[in-house]
Amino acid sequence: MEARHPKLWMPGFQPPTNYMTKFQEGSLAIAKTIEECRPEVVAVYPITPQTHIVESLAKLKAEKSVSYEYITAESELSAASIVLGASASGARTYTATSSQGLLLMTEALFNITGLRLPIVMTCANRAVSAPINIWNDQQDIMTIRDAGWIILFAESNQESVDLHIQAYRIAEKISLPVAVCVDGFALTHTFEPIELRDQKNIDKFLPKYKPKKETFLDPKNPITIGGLCAPSSYMLIREGLHQDLLASKKIIKEEFLKFNNLFSIKKNVDDCKISDGLIEYSGPSNPELVFIASGSVLGTIKSTYDYNLRQKNKIGVLNIKCLRPFPDEETVNFISKIKPKNIAIVDRSISLGQTGILFSEIKTACYGKTEIKIKNFIMGLGGKDITPKDIQNIVLNFKSKQNFQFVL
């Protein structure tokens, strides 16, 4: 089903063709976008709520001539290992997973980073066991945040589509893997008007992958990768990996800007004060309270306090789009600029025995640099609904003395 952009439904107005959108499921839109990124190897193992993505890729493979080899593995670890091997041989690759599947991949995920392989993976975020729960929170991806992957979060299905295109460009530019996080069911199974980017411009933004010489396995030019490393060298290698991950912030910003310029993407300048690929803020310039969160919960916050209410109540919303590398300087600098009195951090994950994980990141970044009151709210674990009433209660909570709480 096709629909024109709602802002262009005006008598006598003829919009350009690139404003045509399709009303479709998020998973299908992701799959079609991956096809347009022209991977050579797609290795998968189905797990809810990621399954519709890989099913759609299988269907695309069956129905028409596509550029990728589609491999159904016997487990998520096998799928990760297959794309590891394919990427090590110089191919552009893709995989997707969720929850326990991501945890099963962990061994390979660390190896992928250490081998500096530019793999792109979708994580359809889902709660981890036990007890068994197939619904959405962000605990799964948080468990591998130290694996060295660049980790990006999508707020909407349109953003999830666009982030996958950017992810390949970022990964191949710095030789690091990228995970694009899409909230399970909240986005993967939701139907929205989504604009699929045209193939011509995708090819312009993301040309054919050509790995650098002596960075991939080639019988004509033998090299060793992933060999045994002595203590004298290991720490130097890890330091280089760490520094390159930090340096990727600049690349993420650059590619975000190039993508937006190429596809003529513009934010509402009245509401959006910053959007650089790492963080995005909407709200007044002098807020009393700023919500900080990642993923689809931002839509609930913004719909609870729309543009007019955000201005009236002096409420801002800061989207942490990139978990790794963490935008610590960018976040602190922006908070220092707008100077809110209070910050509410909404976490859909928790470091058990400690605090919410996003809260811990923000608290560390702000340590000794601000006197702003910061509170942590653990919400939506296991897919529990986060309602407008919950968001309104957070605003009221700042009148209390509680600094941390589960919103049950």
Residue 407 — pLDDT band, cuts 50, 70, 90? low
Residue 406's pLDDT band, with cuts at 50, 70 and 90, is: low
pTM of this prediction exceeds 0.85? yes
Q: So where are the chain's domains? A: 17-261, 277-406
CATH topology identical between 17-261 and 277-406: yes
Q: End-to-end distance of the chain based on CA atoms, in angstroms?
A: 38
Domain at 17-261, CATH from 3.40.50.300, 3.40.50.1360, 2.40.30.10, 3.40.50.970: 3.40.50.970
Q: How confident is the model at residue 6 (pLDDT cuts 50, 70, 90)?
A: very low
In tens, the pLDDT along 226-268 reads 889 999 899 999 999 999 999 999 999 999 999 999 999 877 6
Please provide residue 79's backbone torsions phi and psi, each rounded to the nearest 5 degrees.
Answer: -60, -45
Mean pLDDT of 373-389: 95
Name the amino acid, one letter, at 180: V
As a whole number, mean pLDDT of residues 24-48 equals: 97
Lowest mean pLDDT among 88-92, 98-102, 111-115, 267-271: 267-271
Q: Which tens digits make up the pLDDT trace of 72-99?
A: 999 999 999 999 999 999 999 999 999 9
Which CATH architecture best describes the domain 277-406? 3-Layer(aba) Sandwich (3.40)
Would you place residue 170 in the very low, low, confident or very high pLDDT band (cuts 50, 70, 90)? very high
Confidence of residue 15 (pLDDT cuts 50, 70, 90): very low
Mean pLDDT computed over 388-403: 84
| pLDDT class of 402 with cuts at 50, 70, 90 | low
